[in-house]
């Protein structure tokens, strides 16, 4: 095969990646738009947390001094490991020559770059906001599993909007719980039904037997046990939902080297987790903000991320209109759907985030969630600085993009995960 991928073409493709990554990155995801992008390197990224001014308060000077914090405050520090996701596309050159539209290799390179970046972006957002299973790398939880014929299974997902995360051709694996080993076998996604919250998989001869309550994720991404190597610590591990807490204390009491037990400043190191299923949505949000204001004058959430299905319901409760001109903070020419409300902590933008589970909302402070990447670039070529690489054992090339960096929250006391009821069809 001729080497059609010249150094010049690769240079154009890499340049196109620099040009298109930010618009592709934030286009459908206001959560990604509100991330604080930083530069980092090395094997770990430390996020310090001020947990309070210390114990130096007393009516007696000596006691006040003796109980004071040595450095003026108490603190903790999360050590965040680097993590990574990939996006890959392939160019079949024997098919390209039969294209009805005249198209140069440069056009193919740019299209492949864009599609690979979109795959990596969607995977990244699903990893950061994708599941409340409290399992690193999880995409969804099986509600019911039905063997329709032979090796074919219909999986109804517990959170039905999770079905839209999957693409035909992806391969899934499963585990019983967050700390369990991977189950035997795998299944190829052959059907995606967002209407019913169902994915259809072909388990072939792999030995996979899908079962209700199992956690599922992508092959090579859902890890064995609780190993988080290469896995982004998602929002719902930074701020566990109410179901993953006991009396407000996270069930998992150590996270990235920080103790989050009852013997800690709980909301400073794990945020807030509320069950709002028994009250109207806006009441749950308002009450959460009120608790945050009472606990700390520093807690100033100003953004609420909700699934698009939740947005009109909350707008109705607030007697307001959904706007479609909520601008990007990154200067990208894109506008998001949402509206503004006033909470005890101040004005708050409510934004529709497609990757949010329909039964969870994230009340937070814009800019406190951080993505720190090498050189400040989230997306880069996956192999040796080249985006498009020839395959010398076939008449094809691959376009490979990776997104890598450190993800975390610098101000957990300003973040709350609020659980709400799930809709039934179009009815909330």
Model confidence pLDDT, tens digit, residues 164-205: 999 999 999 999 998 899 999 999 999 999 999 999 999 999
**Does residue 2 carry a pLDDT above 50?**
no
Set out the domains of the chain in order of their start, with CATH numbers: 1-136+228-420 (3.90.1690), 140-218 (2.40.10)
The more confidently predicted of residues 112 and 233 is 233
- Average pLDDT on 76-89 reads 88
Question: Rounded distance, CA 159 to CA 363, Å?
Answer: 20
Which of 217-226, 231-240, 339-348, 395-404 tops mean pLDDT? 339-348
Contact 18, 24 (CB under 8 A): no
Confidence of residue 102 (pLDDT cuts 50, 70, 90): low
Start-to-end CA distance of the chain, whole Å, equals: 57
- pLDDT, residue 92, reads 77
- The answer to which of 42-46, 159-163, 317-321, 402-406 has the lowest mean pLDDT is 42-46
- pLDDT, residue 115, reads 81
- The answer to which of 9-13, 166-170, 282-286 has the lowest mean pLDDT is 9-13
- pLDDT, residue 3, reads 47
- Average pLDDT on 130-141 reads 82
Collapse the DSSP code of 324 into the 3-class scheme (helix H, G, I; strand E, B; otherwise coil) and give the result. Answer: strand
Nearest to 272 by CA among 162, 407, 131, 411: 411
Collapse the DSSP code of 412 into the 3-class scheme (helix H, G, I; strand E, B; otherwise coil) and give the result. Answer: helix
| 296 burial via Cβ count (<10 Å: 0-12, 13-18, 19+) | middle
pLDDT in tens, 148-164: 999 999 999 998 889 99
- Average pLDDT on 68-80 reads 77
| Average pLDDT for the chain | 86
The more confidently predicted of residues 254 and 65 is 254
The more confidently predicted of residues 428 and 387 is 387
Percent of the chain with pLDDT over 70: 89
- pLDDT, residue 136, reads 81
The more confidently predicted of residues 225 and 170 is 170
- The answer to which of 109-113, 176-180, 256-260 has the lowest mean pLDDT is 109-113
- pLDDT, residue 13, reads 64
Contact 69, 54 (CB under 8 A): yes
**Does residue 299 carry a pLDDT above 90?**
no
- pLDDT, residue 64, reads 82
Question: Rounded distance, CA 269 to CA 84, Å?
Answer: 24
Collapse the DSSP code of 62 into the 3-class scheme (helix H, G, I; strand E, B; otherwise coil) and give the result. Answer: helix
- Average pLDDT on 340-362 reads 94
- Average pLDDT on 275-282 reads 94
**Does residue 327 carry a pLDDT above 80?**
yes
- pLDDT, residue 398, reads 86
Phi-psi region of 230 (alpha: psi -120 to 50; beta: other; left: phi over 0): left
- pLDDT, residue 311, reads 93
Residues 6+ apart with CB under 8 A from 70: none
The more confidently predicted of residues 36 and 60 is 36
- Average pLDDT on 202-218 reads 96
- Average pLDDT on 393-419 reads 90
- The answer to which of 18-27, 87-96, 326-335 has the lowest mean pLDDT is 18-27
């Amino acid at each position: 095969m001729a080497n059609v991928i010249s150094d010049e073409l690769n240079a154009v493709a890499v340049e196109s990646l620099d040009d298109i990554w930010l618009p592709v990155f934030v286009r459908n995801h206001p959560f990604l738009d509100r991330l604080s992008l930083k530069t980092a390197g090395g094997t770990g990224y430390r996020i310090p947390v001020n947990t309070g001014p210390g114990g130096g308060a007393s009516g007696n000077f000596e006691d006040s001094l003796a109980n004071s914090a040595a450095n003026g405050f108490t603190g903790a520090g999360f050590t965040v490991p680097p993590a990574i996701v990939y996006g890959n596309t392939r160019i079949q050159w024997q098919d390209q020559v039969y294209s009805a539209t005249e198209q140069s290799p440069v056009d193919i390179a740019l299209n492949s770059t864009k599609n690979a970046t979109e795959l990596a972006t969607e995977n990244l957002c699903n990893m950061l906001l994708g599941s409340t299973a409290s399992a690193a790398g999880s995409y969804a939880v099986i509600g019911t599993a039905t063997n329709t014929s032979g090796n074919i299974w219909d999986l109804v997902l517990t959170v039905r909007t999770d079905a839209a995360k999957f693409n035909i051709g992806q391969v899934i694996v499963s585990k019983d719980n967050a700390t369990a080993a991977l189950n035997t076998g795998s299944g190829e996604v052959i059907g995606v039904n967002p209407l019913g919250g169902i994915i259809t998989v072909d388990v072939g001869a792999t030995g996979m037997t899908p079962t209700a309550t199992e956690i599922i994720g992508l092959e090579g991404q859902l890890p064995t046990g609780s190993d988080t190597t290469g896995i982004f610590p998602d929002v719902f591990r930074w701020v566990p939902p109410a179901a993953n807490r006991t009396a407000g204390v996270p069930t998992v009491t150590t996270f990235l080297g920080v103790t989050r037990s009852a013997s800690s400043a709980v909301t400073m190191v794990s945020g807030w987790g509320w069950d709002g299923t028994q009250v109207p949505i806006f009441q749950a949000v308002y009450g959460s903000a009120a608790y945050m204001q009472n606990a700390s004058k520093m807690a100033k959430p100003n953004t609420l991320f909700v699934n698009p299905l939740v947005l009109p319901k909350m707008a109705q409760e607030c007697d307001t209109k959904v706007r479609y001109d909520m601008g990007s903070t990154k200067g990208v020419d894109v506008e998001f759907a949402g509206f503004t409300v006033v909470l005890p902590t101040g004005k708050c933008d409510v934004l529709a985030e497609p990757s949010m589970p329909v039964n969870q909302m994230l009340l937070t402070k814009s800019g406190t969630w951080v993505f720190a990447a090498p050189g400040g670039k989230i997306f880069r070529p996956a192999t040796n600085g080249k985006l498009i690489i020839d395959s010398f054992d076939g008449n094809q090339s691959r376009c490979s993009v990776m997104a890598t960096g450190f993800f975390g929250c610098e101000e957990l006391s300003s973040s709350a995960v609020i659980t709400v009821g799930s809709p039934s069809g179009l009815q909330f």
